[in-house]
Structures are given as C-alpha cells and as structure tokens.
Amino acid sequence: MALSVLHRAFLTSAALALTALLLTALPSAAAASDKDCADFASQRAAQIFFIKHGGPRYDPHRLDGDDDGVACEDNRCPCYIGRHLPRRPALDIVSNRRRLLTI
C-alpha cells in the first residue's frame, strides 16, 4: 500500500513538472501574434496595420520606433504616411468618374 502512495506521488509530480515545462516552452498568444516591421511586405502595409491597431496613440507592436506616427519607415515602398486609413481605391475610381461626368 505504501508503494502505491509513493507511486501516485511520483506520477503526480512528474505530470506537474511536464505541464510546467510545456507551458514555459510554448510561446504565449501575445508573443506569437506580435508583429515586427519584417512581417510586412511594404511600409504601406505596416502603416495600415499600425493605424488599425491603435496607432499612432497606441503602438502595442512597437512599429513606430521614433514616435512620429509613421510605422516601419525603413521598409520598402509603396509607402503611406497618413494617420487615418486610406480610402478604398474602388471608391476613389467611382468618385473620380462621377467628378469627370459632372464637369
């Protein structure tokens, strides 16, 4: 009987140790979703992501290193330095056509 108690205690401690090891080895959800400038194909893509996720007031991914409101300035262009999301190109084309038709 004493052996089974020791056996259970050993198995329990081994399971706890294995669980702790797995939890420390796996990246957290926040770390796994953290973005860096290298994750974006262009500066424009980084800027749009930055704006959608709170920039320039809130920069959880630290994409704006110098706090000037522009994310990933060293990424290749196309570039976008606006502080608001750009208008959708399809809407721009429609409004340009209407403008041309009314002139």
What are the extents of the domains in the chain? 1-28, 34-102
The rounded distance, in Å, linking the Cα atoms of 59 and 36 is 11
pLDDT in tens, the chain (103 residues): 556 877 687 677 777 776 666 666 555 455 558 899 999 999 999 999 999 999 889 999 999 999 999 999 999 999 998 888 888 765 444 444 444 444 4
Give me the half-sphere count of Cα atoms (radius 13 Å) on the Cβ side of residue 50.
31
Cis amide leading into 78 (omega within 30): yes
The rounded distance, in Å, linking the Cα atoms of 64 and 86 is 18
The rounded distance, in Å, linking the Cα atoms of 82 and 60 is 19
Residue 87 carries which side chain, given as an amino acid letter? R
pLDDT for res 102: 46
pLDDT for res 43: 95
pLDDT for res 18: 65
